[in-house]
Amino acid sequence: MSKTSRTSITMPTQAKKGSIIEIRAIAQHDMETGFRYTEGGKPIPRDIIRFFICQYNGVEVFKAELFPGTGANPMIIFSTIAAESGILQFEWQGDNGYEAVNQSQITVT
Amino acid sequence: MKALSVAVFFIAILSSAASFAARQSSYELMTPENQAMQDDPGSNPAQFWVMDGQSLWKQKAGKANVSCASCHGESGETMRGVAVQFPKMVRRKLRTLEGQINYCRTQRQGALALAYESKALLALSVFVATQSKGLPIAVEETPANRDSLSKGRQWFEMRMGQLNLSCAQCHEDRAGLKLGGSVIPQAHPTAYPIYRLEWQSLGSLERRLRNCMSGVRARQFDYGSPEMAQLELFLMWRARGMPLESPGVRP
């Protein structure tokens, strides 16, 4: 069963060539650790985001691996160099077929 | 003599202004990082619930097959100024915002009531609450709510639990002092529903109140109980005039 959720990207839409831009990517996810139990004592299976990948015009510029220690609704803040105008694609992959994709456009002058 | 009376008059104004200004949202006690998280819609995790609420708002439900939007409008902007009035007396019964949403669901839509702290109920209540962001809390004492308000004050001042503490002992007498390393807030419910980092989720005022009750080893008021509504009413009346911040972020 595949599922997805809301995501949000905060980054500049315009930048000078060669400048460093900050990108904030947040995804709505419970990040269930797999270490918790229900009130009835049954273990709650793990359900987390495993990977986050950022591609800049098709080139991978940032990748992160997430683990059960990460809190719910994880926000990833990173930076990259504004090399050329184009599209940044963000992708989250996780347990139980979780997948979310978001895109953002940047104009480099 | 005249100068003295003028001075007394000004001191009276100043002291009343001071006691008014001394009221403080627990937003002021947060780190700059957490304040930034609340202020920036791009990093406030509660925004996801607001968006969920917006889609639920338009979703038809129940036997009547109507959505919230069918009566109240698509945008939800008609709900501006609504959340700051709750809890309020509706047909001689005190109703919280969550109670009102469930009333609409069961009576108008013919659907099942949403469970307290369920994602759907939190999403709808935060969607309604955030329409009133920035407006002053407008709960006033009226002949209709006087009884409930005085009950609420009674709960606030009543010692409870194995630790035998009242809300007022911490949040009125000792507000600003420390409990276990953190500053005791004045308990003004200005930002609910809040995204509490400790919960890693959005939560209602009732959940927060139950937190304190379990903290003093008391028997918690039930979700949706009249006692809970009365206590909420008293707290909102106590915070009247303070701007609503919903959705807030709290550590």
Instruction: Give the span between the Cα atoms of B166 and B168, in whole angstroms.
Output: 5
Last residue of a domain, one of B130, B152, B174: B130
Q: Are strands A99-108 and A14-15 parallel, antiparallel or unpaired?
A: parallel
- List, for residues B34-47, the tens digit of each pLDDT value: 999 999 988 899 99
pLDDT of residue B22: 84
Which chain A residues are closer than 8 Å to B48 by Cβ?
5-6, 8, 28, 73
A71 Cα to chain B: minimum distance (Å): 7
Q: Which helix (H) or strand (E) holds B147?
A: helix B146-157
Interface check for B42 against chain A (CB to CB < 8 A): the answer is yes
Interface check for B48 against chain A (CB to CB < 8 A): the answer is yes
Whether residues B162 and B189 share a domain: the answer is yes
Instruction: Give the span between the Cα atoms of A109 and A56, in whole angstroms.
Output: 16
Looking at the domain assignment, is residue B200 inside a domain?
yes
- List, for residues B210-249, the tens digit of each pLDDT value: 999 999 999 999 999 999 999 999 999 999 999 999 999 9
Q: Are B171 and B208 in contact (CB under 8 A)?
A: no
Confidence of residue B140 (pLDDT cuts 50, 70, 90): very high
B82 Cα to chain A: minimum distance (Å): 27
Mutate: best of A4, A5, A8, A22, partner B, most B CBs <10 A: A8
Looking at the domain assignment, is residue B109 inside a domain?
yes
Domain that holds residue B244: 136-250
Last residue of a domain, one of B98, B130, B162: B130
Whether residues B103 and B143 share a domain: the answer is no
Does residue B33 surpass a pLDDT of 50?
yes
Looking at the domain assignment, is residue B16 inside a domain?
no
- List, for residues A27-73, the tens digit of each pLDDT value: 999 999 999 999 899 999 999 999 999 999 999 999 999 999 999 99
CATH number of the structural domain spanning residue B92: 1.10.760.10
Instruction: Give the span between the Cα atoms of A71 and B225, in whole angstroms.
Output: 32
Last residue of a domain, one of B95, B130, B165: B130
Chain A's closest residue to B51, CA to CA, is A6
Whether residues B114 and B158 share a domain: the answer is no
ipTM of the complex: 0.85
- Identify the sign of the CA torsion B122, B125, B128, B134: negative
A5 Cα to chain B: minimum distance (Å): 9
Whether residues B78 and B146 share a domain: the answer is no
Task: Classify domain A7-108 at the CATH superfamily level.
Answer: Immunoglobulins (2.60.40.10)
pLDDT of residue B13: 44
Q: Are B84 and B136 in contact (CB under 8 A)?
A: yes
Does residue B9 surpass a pLDDT of 70?
no
